[in-house]
Amino acid sequence: MTEQTPMVIVGTGLAGYSLAREIRKQDKEIRIVMVTADDGVSYSKPMLSTGFTKGKDAEGLAQAATEAMAEQLNLELLTYTTVTGIDTDGRRLLLGDDSLSYSKLVLAWGADVIRLTIPGDGQERVFPINDLGDYRAFRKALKPGSRVAIMGAG
């Protein structure tokens, strides 16, 4: 017996996980594989904006671990996996030297942050925050008593 070709969802943010939840309401058995460039931890992206003022670190913003999401939604999670292309004719997602066949493909990876090029020697102290990994790096670099300037409407 051959294994069912999965539905593949790229992205484990709100859109990706919400879609997986809705699919599970309709079909408990369809094979789903989620692919993400990060750790796949479930969190609320709006909390990236308010977590700092609430004194929360990245772990304090996490709502569910990767393993818990995979079990809850009965799916496979490929973490730290970068999509390098899509072969639409062959119905394959290209993952560097590997590939993954799909029956259906959903791209739910969200927006990319605009990276500013600021002249001078302070570039290493500019932290664009667009995901939990970015927020984790920002909080790690922050020293007690540091001053922070926030740019952007997020």
The whole-number pLDDT of residue 1 equals: 38
The whole-number pLDDT of residue 20 equals: 97
Reported as half-sphere exposure (CB side, CA atoms, 13 A), residue 151 has a value of 8
pLDDT tens string 105-142: 999 987 777 777 778 887 888 888 888 989 999 999 98
CA separation for the pair 5, 71 (Å, rounded): 19
* 143 assigned to some structural domain: no
* 58 assigned to some structural domain: yes
* Burial of 11 from C-beta contacts in 10 A (0-12 / 13-18 / 19+): buried
CA 84 to chain centroid, in Å, comes to 16
Structural domain count of the chain = 1
Q: Tokens representing 8?
A: 């593949």
pLDDT tens string 71-95: 999 999 999 999 999 999 999 999 9
Cβ of 131: how many Cβ atoms within 10 Å?
21
The whole-number pLDDT of residue 153 equals: 67
Q: Is the per-residue pLDDT at 46 higher than 60?
A: yes
Q: Which residue has the tokens 């490929």?
A: 78
Q: What is the CATH number of the domain that holds 80?
A: 3.50.50.60
| Identity of the residue numbered 3 | E
* 144 assigned to some structural domain: no
- Residue 72 near residue 34, CB atoms below 8 Å: no
- Full residue range of the structural domain in which residue 95 is found: 7-112
Dmax (CA) of the chain:
62
